[in-house]
Amino acid sequence: MHRLSTATLAATISILSNVTAQDTAVIGLNSLTEIEFSQLSQRDPNPLGEKALAIHPDQWKHAETEHFIYHFVHDYVATPVSVEAEFHYRVVAKEIERDEPPGDIKSHIYIFENPQEWHEFQALGKLEPWTGGIHSEGSLFIQRDPSYKFSGNTLGHEIVHLVMHRFYTAGIPRWLDEGFAQYISKDAHASYQRARGYISKPHSESIPPQDFMPLSTLTAFTYPPSDRVHAFYNESERLVRFLAETDKPNFLKLLDALGRHQPFENALAEFYPTRFSTISALEEKFRDYASKDFGSSLQQASN
């Protein structure tokens, strides 16, 4: 088990060389150092955190890195999570071109291992339909079965939410939050795969024309619609990718405006005035982009 987890860690760390050597030095190559709960630099005011730690209380160990605090059972399970967490922190901060948010509040990550206990805990929070994790008020609750090798971008997706919550504490619209989490974590996952010697491109999924949701509908959801979960995440990801690729500086301004709870239509008119000043003008151009590559071999290869 230790050998396996060391290999996983080494693979994860190798992607860090794509960031900078300095980042790797900051994160360190060793497993997390366990510290007493009383010695943690910060407490989690989230009541769900307290409830998590009340489940089989003597099992929990604790550790922290620069931006996160971890509550876990085994360090070989928590260490790769910590490497991914700090990696995604840097990827997001770089993407949104922001320095450290004011204050140095860390995000808490609770890692359950026992399926029974996770099941018991799940009843207390709202599971994200995409990843099966629970993200609540800037804290993340996940289950990791040590015997199951995790793949894909689901942990990265949740960590992007955590990091975005640090920068936009008052919240951003659901399509933007989910779309951005998918956009960043898919790209980061592709670089992770490439670092392990695989040929991998970010797998942005195209939207079958019949599944396309009007943007006025997509942008109004406050929670992923249960009958169209997959379509909601994919179209949100495509929309974020489209806006960011069309005009990155103005995408960041739009993000800030939506972080201040401005209506989407107003922000669009302000920051994309010549390209698409209304939602329907945006939709006209976005519709083609959303279904690009649908049914092609490229799309099939990516599924």
Q: How far apart are CA 79 and CA 29, in angstroms?
A: 10
Q: How far apart are CA 110 and CA 141, in angstroms?
A: 5
Angle at 156 between CA 239 and CA 253, to 5 degrees: 40
Q: Are 255 and 92 in contact (CB under 8 A)?
A: no
Q: Are 159 and 137 in contact (CB under 8 A)?
A: no
Strand stretches in the chain, DSSP E: 61-64, 68-72, 107-112, 134-136, 139-143
Cβ-based nearer residue to Zn ion, 78 or 181: 181
The distance of closest approach from Cβ of residue 130 to Zn ion in the complex, given in angstroms and rounded to an integer, is 5
Please name the residues in contact with 124: beta carbons below 8 A apart, sequence gap of 6 or more: 48, 51
Cβ-based nearer residue to Zn ion, 84 or 178: 178
Residue listed under structure tokens 């920068």? 167
Cβ-based nearer residue to Zn ion, 86 or 178: 178
- Let me know how long the chain is: 303
Residue among 69, 154, 189 nearest 142 (CA): 154
Cβ-based nearer residue to Zn ion, 118 or 180: 180
The distance of closest approach from Cβ of residue 255 to Zn ion in the complex, given in angstroms and rounded to an integer, is 16
Interface residues toward Zn ion, by CB under 5 A: 128, 178, 181
Helical spans, DSSP H, in 55-114: 75-95
The distance of closest approach from Cβ of residue 196 to Zn ion in the complex, given in angstroms and rounded to an integer, is 25
The distance of closest approach from Cβ of residue 93 to Zn ion in the complex, given in angstroms and rounded to an integer, is 19
The distance of closest approach from Cβ of residue 33 to Zn ion in the complex, given in angstroms and rounded to an integer, is 30
Cβ-based nearer residue to Zn ion, 178 or 283: 178
The distance of closest approach from Cβ of residue 129 to Zn ion in the complex, given in angstroms and rounded to an integer, is 8
Q: Are 153 and 189 in contact (CB under 8 A)?
A: yes
Q: How far apart are CA 11 and CA 8, in angstroms?
A: 5
The distance of closest approach from Cβ of residue 174 to Zn ion in the complex, given in angstroms and rounded to an integer, is 9
Cβ-based nearer residue to Zn ion, 131 or 291: 131
The distance of closest approach from Cβ of residue 131 to Zn ion in the complex, given in angstroms and rounded to an integer, is 6
Q: How far apart are CA 236 and CA 241, in angstroms?
A: 9
Cβ-based nearer residue to Zn ion, 182 or 206: 182
Cβ-based nearer residue to Zn ion, 64 or 128: 128
The backbone torsions φ and ψ at residue 115, rounded to the nearest 5 degrees and listed phi first, read -60, -35
Query: What does the block give as tokens for 17?
Result: 């060389």
